[in-house]
Amino acid sequence: MYFFLYIFDLSELLLATLLNKFMKKLNNLVIVGNGMVGYKMCEKLIEKKVQEEYNIIVFGGESRPAYDRVHLSEYFSGKSAEDLLMAPADWYNENGITLYLNDPVVKIDREKKEVISFKGMSVSYSKLVLATGSSCFIPSIPGIEKEGVIAYRTIEDLDDIKSYAAKSKKGVVIGGGLLGLEAAKALMDLGLETHVVEFAPRLMPRQLDEMGAIILKEKIESLNIIIHLNKNTQSIDGEGKVAKMVFADGSELETDMIVVSAGIKPRDELARESGLEVGPRGGIVVNDLLQTSDPDIYSIGESALYKGMIYGLVAPGYEMADVVANSLAGGSKTFAPYDMSTKLKLIGVDVASFGDPFCTEQEHQHIVFEDRTKGIYKRVNISTCGNYLLGGVLVGDAKDYNMLLQTYKNSIILPPTPEDLILGPRGGSESAGSGVLSLPDAALICSCENVTKGDICSAVTYNNLEDVAGIKKCTKAGTGCGGCVPMLNDLLTATLKASGKEVNKVLCEHFGYSRQEVLAIIKSTGIKTYDELLMKYGNGDGCEVCKPAVASMFASTWNEMILKQDTIQDTNDRYLANIQKGGTYSVVPRIPGGEITPEKLIAIGVIAKKYDLYCKITGGQRIDLFGARVDELPLIWEELIEVGFESGHAYGKSLRTVKSCVGSTWCRFGLHDSVTFAIEIEERYKGLRAPHKLKSAVSGCVRECAEAQGKDFGIIATDKGWNLYVCGNGGAKPQHAKLLASDIDKETCIKYIDRFLMFYIRTAEPLNRTSTWLNKLDGGMEFLKDVIVNDSLGLGEQLEKEMQYMVDTYKCEWKDVVEDPLKRKRFTHFVNSSIADPTIKFQAMRDQKKPVEWGA
């Protein structure tokens, strides 16, 4: 009897299992669209185990799985379509998701609850998610259909742009927004004369105020991209293909091709044809659960219209995917109006806006910092009471964006001096409440993945995380646009310190030591080769992180010829010259202080003419000679050395230049001889290897013609002597230098520079400029001044001795190669032949030459 009951129970269990499987087969969840948001929908469904209740079926219109459109322009700089994939096709299959590519859905039958694809496939659904995204808005301009007009939206579009650019000389982008400027960068990289045409009176009108847009325009125009504002295109003319654009103001612009990036248009055709409610200007209307007018159909991403708003950023699309996945899993999470703050890098220029960037509809005060010479503009809007941040705009320098965004989002009370928000705290200390740990746990650090400060700190604490990679793996923070990664690093460090753990930043997985500790090992043991160091103090085979870092440390310690190292820093060090486009190299002879005799000028001209080199005077008062083949380098150096030149080290992480004004020698305002001092400084520190490149300048008076306050160390003449400034930086993230000592004599100034540079070499992280090093230095400028000027650590004499050793052991690296036959043998294009590289080609430009553009 018990035996039969057992069989009955077992049969009932099997029946239930089979019924479950059968019901699941009828329980289809269909996702229409496989863009970034469609992919994130799949990810969220897996995370919430929704696939246990539904068969997940995805239809994609393109021939490849979802790829990263945010970084689409990187396709032009070497990334492949596979590099941009969010996940390979196998990933879907491994997670039980059926993916149909190159087969868009063309019809929704709401009565039968089924979708029909382009290839005729009919699939029923219990729930349907429309993630159809958007298409490139093509303005209805007469002639827009002509050959040579290409949209900027998909990888196929980019292939078309590449192909058409190869037979074009001039290209125009219609649209001065984010994607338009990305498209302009692409055309510039392809070697075309590039123009941008924008209908509005300024670039990026949704993100930037008038002044911010002007600064951005100036920065972009400095790259030889021509901007045309307030232009209404009336027609595109040409016989079958593009020849010119005609504008409403009567002007014309000749061009060979046009790239259209004039905004996006929500793809709501399916919804419209199936009777779902759509907005008057497009977009599928959704409620707080992101349901359409049919409760079994959802819409997410750029196709969804929520409270009159189409969200064109990836972060709100990801949040929408999370809301729908939560709903399908039985949750009650709803969508809310999403903050559209964003940080971007456009053509190498940082641009950010947050909160209410314009404050046109609320009373406010605003603080503005503007530096037209460096292309920096910062504006913050604060409440009339002065307590709260309302929004702002950043152009040219957006390093403070994350903290500004969190200050705004979390209504953090501002410091008594709110100008510190954009000028930086004065006096060497942080403003009250400016640290990352002062943020509330609910502060949203990663908006792409909806990860809060509390999530990150908890993950670090409870999972014993010790690096940002661990945070990414555990929380997914930083895996989207990547804008929050600097704050992840700050939170990691602050959390570890707060829990009493030692924050030890190891060089890499092959060395369990920080850079400072590895440097100490090298100094104390006398080790001079990478292999010996790795064998005794490391493990494995090494990597691209530790090899160049160790090579730099050897150079900074022993000052030996860089070519003696098997693990030299990069291609530039390998050939003691900067590799340029087309595979040739540039030669920069040292010209200390910018002073040069007529004889040396003539010699440079003769050599440049002999080897057919392109000549350019640099911003650092040097003459750069471009277009030298690798086999010509020793020959060129030999002739330069004969007339008294030596290596300018423009290729190394070392002292580049010491710039000077003419000072008291010629200038009526000059207080002291800045040229002589600049030459003395450059001769002393030439060739000094460091964690990053070093630049310097000497100005003969406070008029600062040599721009000393924008250098790693700068000297300015005063009535009583010299002022010494340190840790300034031009470049991508400019920073004013800070005063280290005032009214000092030459000898004291050199002594302080010796100490400063050697202390920087001892303590900085790899590839940190002096400005970044100071920003991370505990105690800031006050501590640095105490160490260098007051010798608080008792290291002054030792640092001076170390520098004197570097000065005494200096050798010109070019001369070393020229005089050594074995080293000279390295300088060939081919190991088995002395012939020159036949693929190197040039074209004429303004009576000189330039490399033929890639793809031409």
User: Which residues are annotated as part of the binding site for [4Fe-4S] cluster?
Assistant: 661, 667, 701, 705
Orientation of helix 515-525 relative to helix 530-537, angle to 10°? 110
CB atoms within 10 A of CB 430: 14
CA atoms within 13 A on the CB side of 693: 15
CA angle 507, 806, 678 (to 5 degrees): 110
Helix intervals (H) in 171-273: 178-189, 210-221, 269-273
Please tell me what DSSP assigns to residue 77.
G
* 361 Cβ contact list (under 8 Å, min separation 6): none
Query: What whole-number distance in Å separates Cα of residue 578 and Cα of residue 584?
Result: 8
DSSP letters of 380-439? Answer: EEE-TTSS-EEEEEEES--TTHHHHHHHHHTTPPPPS-TTHHHH--STTSPPTT-SGGGS
Binding residues: 661, 667, 701, 705
Task: Note the maximum CA span of the chain.
Answer: 117
Alpha helices in 48-174 (DSSP H): 81-84, 89-94, 155-165
> H/E element holding 366?
strand 365-371
Nearest to 58 by CA among 34, 87, 27: 34
What are the contacts of 424-433 at 24+ separation with CB within 8 A? 427/782, 428/779, 428/780, 428/781, 428/782, 428/783, 429/780, 429/782
Q: Where are the beta strands (DSSP E) in 679-779?
A: 694-699, 713-718, 721-726, 738-744
Known binding residues for siroheme: 705
CA–CA gap between residue 844 and residue 286 (Å, rounded)? 58
Both tokens of 294, joined, read 């049919």
Write the CA distances from 279 to 267, 268, 292, 343, 742, integer angstroms: 12, 9, 11, 29, 66
- CA angle in degrees (0–180, nearest 5) for 583-585-591: 165
Calculate the alpha carbon distances from 185 to 195, 221, 243, 346, 835 in Å.
10, 12, 21, 8, 36
CA separation (Å) from 157 to 33, 35, 747? 18, 15, 62
What does the radius of gyration of the chain's CA atoms come to, in whole angstroms?
31
Q: Write the CB contacts of 462 (distance below 8 Å, at least 6 apart in sequence).
A: none
Rounded Cα gap, residues 219 and 213, in angstroms: 10
Give the CA distances from residue 256 to residues 168, 194, 240, in Å, rounded to whole numbers and listed in that order. 6, 11, 12
Q: How far apart are CA 342 and CA 483, in angstroms?
A: 9
**Rounded-to-integer distance, Cα 500 and Cα 190, Å:** 52
Is residue 448 helix, strand or coil?
coil
In degrees, rounded to 5, the angle at the alpha carbon of residue 532 between the alpha carbons of residues 531 and 536 is 120
d(CA 79, CA 96): 29
